[in-house]
Structure 1
Amino acid sequence: MKKSKRILFLGGSKFQIPPIIYAKSQGHHVITCDYLPDNPGHQFADEYCNLSTTDFDAVLQLAKERNVDGIVAYASDPAAPTQAYVANEMGLPSNPYESVKILARKDLFRDFLSKNNFYVPKSQSFYSLEDSLNWFRKINRPVIVKPVDSSGSKGVSKIYDESQLEESFNYALSFSREKKVAIEEFFVRDGYQVAGDGFVVNGKLVFRCWANEHFDKLCNPFVPIGESFPSIMTEKTLEQAHRETQRLLDLLKIQQGALNFDFHYDKNGDFSFLELGPRNGGNLIPEVIKYSTDVDLVKYTVDSALGVDCSELSQVEAVGFHSSYMLHALEDGIVKDIWYSKEIRKNILEESIFIKKGDKVSRFNGSNHTLGTMIMKFESRDDMIEKMDNMEKYLKVVLE
Structure 2
Amino acid sequence: MKKILLLGGANTQIPSILTAKKMGYYTITCDYLPDNPGHKFADEYHNVSTTDKEAVLALAKELQIDGILAYATDVAAATAAYVSEAMGFPTSPYKSVDILTNKDKFRAFLEENGFCTPRARGYSSVEEAKKDLENFKFPVMVKPVDSAGSKGVARMDDAGQLEELVENALQYSRCKRFIIEEYVEKYRYQIAGDGFSVDGKLVFRCFANEHFSNKAASPYVPIGESFPYDMPKEVHEKVHAEIQRLLTLLDMKTQAYNFDIRIDKDYNVYLMEVGPRNGGNMIAQVIEKATGIPFVEYMLKAAMGEDCSELKMVEPEGFWSCYILHTLKEGNFKRIQYTDEIKKNIVEEHIHVKEGEKLIPFTGSNGTVGVLILRYDSMEEMLHKMDNMYDYITVEVE
2:305 equivalent in structure 1: 307
Counterpart mapping for 1:317-336 below 5 A:
317-336=315-334
2:206 equivalent in structure 1: 209
Once the two structures are TM-superposed, the CA of residue 399 in structure 1 deviates from its matched residue by 2.9
Name the SS of the counterpart of 2:18 in structure 1.
helix
Matched residues in 1 for 2:8 and 2:168: separation? 25
Matched residues in 2 for 1:26 and 1:120: separation? 41
Matched residues in 2 for 1:16 and 1:334: separation? 25
Once the two structures are TM-superposed, the CA of residue 331 in structure 1 deviates from its matched residue by 1.5
Q: Which amino acid aligns with 2:177?
A: K
Q: Which amino acid aligns with 2:299?
A: T
Matched residues in 1 for 2:205 and 2:374: separation? 20
Once the two structures are TM-superposed, the CA of residue 356 in structure 1 deviates from its matched residue by 4.0
Once the two structures are TM-superposed, the CA of residue 357 in structure 1 deviates from its matched residue by 3.9
Q: Which amino acid aligns with 2:250?
A: L
Q: Which amino acid aligns with 2:232?
A: T
Matched residues in 1 for 2:63 and 2:219: separation? 43
Name the SS of the counterpart of 1:188 in structure 2.
coil
Pair 1:184 & 2:178 matched = no
Counterpart mapping for 1:1-400 below 5 A:
4-219=1-216, 220-400=218-398
Matched residues in 1 for 2:14 and 2:333: separation? 26
Q: Which amino acid aligns with 2:58?
A: Q
Matched residues in 2 for 1:360 and 1:262: separation? 30
Matched residues in 2 for 1:357 and 1:176: separation? 31
Once the two structures are TM-superposed, the CA of residue 19 in structure 1 deviates from its matched residue by 1.4
Once the two structures are TM-superposed, the CA of residue 59 in structure 1 deviates from its matched residue by 0.5
Matched residues in 2 for 1:5 and 1:357: separation? 39
CA deviations over 1:290-319 (Å, ceiling 9, x no partner): 110011110000011111111000000000
Q: Would the aligned equivalents of 2:107 and 2:117 in 1 still touch at CA under 8 Å?
A: yes
Q: Which amino acid aligns with 1:19?
A: S
Q: Would the aligned equivalents of 2:69 and 2:300 in 1 still touch at CA under 8 Å?
A: yes
Report the TM-score when normalising by structure 1: 0.98
Matched residues in 2 for 1:21 and 1:138: separation? 50
Once the two structures are TM-superposed, the CA of residue 397 in structure 1 deviates from its matched residue by 1.0
Q: How many residues align?
A: 397
Once the two structures are TM-superposed, the CA of residue 245 in structure 1 deviates from its matched residue by 0.8
Name the SS of the counterpart of 1:242 in structure 2.
helix
Matched residues in 2 for 1:226 and 1:95: separation? 29
CA RMSD, Structure 1 to Structure 2 (Å): 0.9
Matched residues in 1 for 2:143 and 2:302: separation? 32
Once the two structures are TM-superposed, the CA of residue 360 in structure 1 deviates from its matched residue by 2.0
Q: Would the aligned equivalents of 2:11 and 2:352 in 1 still touch at CA under 8 Å?
A: no
Once the two structures are TM-superposed, the CA of residue 353 in structure 1 deviates from its matched residue by 1.5
Q: Percent identity?
A: 52
Report the TM-score when normalising by structure 2: 0.98
Q: Quickly say closer, same or farther: Cα 1:132–1:318, change in 2 above 3 A.
A: same
Matched residues in 2 for 1:382 and 1:46: separation? 45
Matched residues in 2 for 1:7 and 1:372: separation? 27
Which runs of no fewer than 5 residues in structure 1 stay unpaired? none
Q: Which amino acid aligns with 1:303?
A: K
CA deviations over 1:329-363 (Å, ceiling 9, x no partner): 11112334322111000000000122344332100
Matched residues in 2 for 1:359 and 1:18: separation? 24
Q: Would the aligned equivalents of 2:191 and 2:262 in 1 still touch at CA under 8 Å?
A: yes
Q: Which amino acid aligns with 1:398?
A: E
Q: Which amino acid aligns with 2:274?
A: L
CA deviations over 1:172-196 (Å, ceiling 9, x no partner): 0110001001001110111100000
CA deviations over 1:146-188 (Å, ceiling 9, x no partner): 0000010000000111111100011001100010010011101
- Give the stretch that moved more between structures: 266-275 or 101-110: 266-275
Once the two structures are TM-superposed, the CA of residue 15 in structure 1 deviates from its matched residue by 0.8
Matched residues in 1 for 2:20 and 2:254: separation? 18
Q: Would the aligned equivalents of 2:121 and 2:180 in 1 still touch at CA under 8 Å?
A: yes
Matched residues in 2 for 1:384 and 1:19: separation? 28
Once the two structures are TM-superposed, the CA of residue 218 in structure 1 deviates from its matched residue by 0.4
